[in-house]
Structure 1
């Protein structure tokens, strides 16, 4: 089983989360991914806790199924190796600030001259153009500038720091994969590749889907707890008697009726679609939820199709029967005969996906192998190692 992307070969120059998550998706679907890493400037993800047997769990997950070639790109010999690789690889993924790859002589125009079919993807915080293109940033900054934080939070406490990196993954990684695969389809027709400029801020801005559409077309400015889906209605979280939480998404009348019947307050169902009664409805629902324990509420709604579900810890979610049935945890080989539990690829193909081959490897773990495949002799590889061109 080779996977639907087995024909793609990717040179991945990215670090941390956005690029590696994108190339993880490609590798899980069968693409051959070769990471180009610095032998002296470590990807900080490698030291991010927690650690399993001395290895960062995050790195082991995000870099599974990928090979690693350690090159010092400041040395001419290393650049020649990259140019040689580009003749056999058809996708480049990079995450440096704008202009870095060009200064190295590895920009799109330079590499396209070697391989016209090359698809070149750059993921940055703000894109390749505009006044912020050279500005530093992180996930929280991109969400702030994209307007998402202005309507994700509570009026009394302000914006919420999310538990997931929405701009990095939802903005950068997923959009990069979609754009890259679209470019692959276009190449099948034209025979030539193209350059893809992915800005995490741009993509985060587009995630304003409902709220943004309302403002641009109607001038309705979103704000904290101002519309139906961000806390401005009964669609919200409710605390149980013992301090845990339940999610209520009973927007449709049929679901609302089941919710209110289960709580012994059928008269509240008529309030669900009345904007003026939302504060009173939320207060009434909170009172009812707080009379019951979390376990009691789980039992109460387990057999009802009312769009009410418990807020689970990650440990509980991993053991939930629905997620277990979907096989969302995979056992990935470490290389010593044992395995590490990791998040599985969530995509389900009728012809299946290849089994995970290995978790993230040490810097340069495949350097000798890759260089030998390029035709370099053992003596030449040793010379490059001695000169610290290769790690």
Structure 2
């Protein structure tokens, strides 16, 4: 089984999270992904804890199914290698600040001249243009500038740091893959590649789907806990008697009625429809009082058989054991290369024709250098020369 993207061959120059998560999705769906890594400037993801048998668990997951070629791009002879790769790998993913690839002789215009079919995807914090294009940033900064942090948090404590990297993944990785695949479809029609400029700030700004639409069209500025879905209504989390939490999303009247009846307070259901902030505040207080009468396990048992959009807040350990996630096979075993395997999150996409089995965890730095160069026609002597000149590792 090859997977739906088996025809794609991708050069991945990215590090850390946004680019590698994007190429992980591509590799899981069958694309051949070759990482081009610096032999002198280590990808910090390789040393990020926790470690499994001396290997970063994050790196092992984000870079599974990919090969690694260690190439010093600052060496003039590196261009010879990349040029030959472009004859076969006609999709390129990079995550440097604007201008870096150009200074290395690897900018889009230079490589397009070598291969006009090249699809060149640049993922950056702020994009290739604008006054912030050269500015450093991280996920929390992109969420702040894109307006999401201004309405994601608590009124008495301000914005909340999220438990995932929303801008990196939703903004960079997922939008990057969508744009890349759109460019592939366009190339099938025109025969020409193109440059895709993916700004994590731009993309995460678009995630203000309802709040942003409301402000732009109606001038309604969202704030902390003043919208239906951000804590401004009963749609929220509730603490249990033993200090755990339950999520309540019972927006529709039927679900709200089921919730209130289960808690023994059916008279509260009508208040769920009230648009008045004070009514919602009082409803939340009443619901909180009811939840605090019960332990977490009791509430889990109570709502397990009720369709009320009420679910427990689970730890990762509990999530992995949950029958729904087990039925969906969201954990897979990935070969380490020594006969053993590592448990990892599986590709979440389900194709009727299936996907190829994971081949290996993230490879060691330069693990496939000789293999890749041999496939390009480099002789053993030429490979030895490049290694002696420290062009490759």
When the two structures are superposed, what TM-score results if normalisation uses the length of structure 2?
Answer: 0.99
The equivalences for 1:276-355 within 5 A come to 276=276, 277-355=279-357
Aligned to 1:204: 204
CA distance in 1, matches of 2:71, 2:89: 17
The equivalences for 1:32-51 within 5 A come to 32-51=32-51
CA distance in 1, matches of 2:292, 2:97: 50
Q: Deviations over 1:203-238 (max 9, x none)?
A: 010000010000000000010001100000000000
CA distance in 2, matches of 1:275, 1:285: 17
Aligned to 2:3: 3
Aligned to 1:372: 374
Aligned to 1:81: 81
Give 1:8 shift. 0.2
CA distance in 2, matches of 1:200, 1:28: 23
Which sections of structure 2, spanning at least 5 residues, go unmatched?
A: none
Give the SS at the match of 2:273: coil
CA distance in 2, matches of 1:55, 1:90: 31
2:236 matched to 1:222? Answer: no
Aligned to 1:114: 114
Give 1:370 shift. 0.5
Q: Deviations over 1:320-345 (max 9, x none)?
A: 00000000001000000000000100
CA distance in 1, matches of 2:353, 2:97: 39
CA distance in 2, matches of 1:223, 1:365: 50
CA distance in 2, matches of 1:225, 1:268: 21
When the two structures are superposed, what TM-score results if normalisation uses the length of structure 1?
Answer: 1.00
Give the SS at the match of 1:375: coil
Number of residue-to-residue matches in the alignment: 391
Give 1:190 shift. 0.4
2:92 matched to 1:92? Answer: yes
CA distance in 2, matches of 1:169, 1:273: 35
Q: Deviations over 1:57-106 (max 9, x none)?
A: 00000000000000011111111101110111110000000000011110
Give 1:275 shift. 2.0
Give the SS at the match of 2:114: coil
Give 1:383 shift. 1.2
- Large movers: runs of 4+ above 6 Å: none
Aligned to 1:70: 70
Give 1:161 shift. 0.3
2:188 matched to 1:188? Answer: yes
Q: Note the aligned Cα RMSD (angstroms).
A: 0.4
CA distance in 1, matches of 2:75, 2:392: 10
CA distance in 1, matches of 2:244, 2:251: 22
Aligned to 1:101: 101
CA distance in 2, matches of 1:175, 1:92: 15
CA distance in 2, matches of 1:120, 1:260: 54
Q: Deviations over 1:39-66 (max 9, x none)?
A: 0100000000000000000000000000
Which sections of structure 1, spanning at least 5 residues, go unmatched?
A: none
Aligned to 2:391: 389
CA distance in 2, matches of 1:2, 1:301: 42
CA distance in 2, matches of 1:184, 1:194: 9
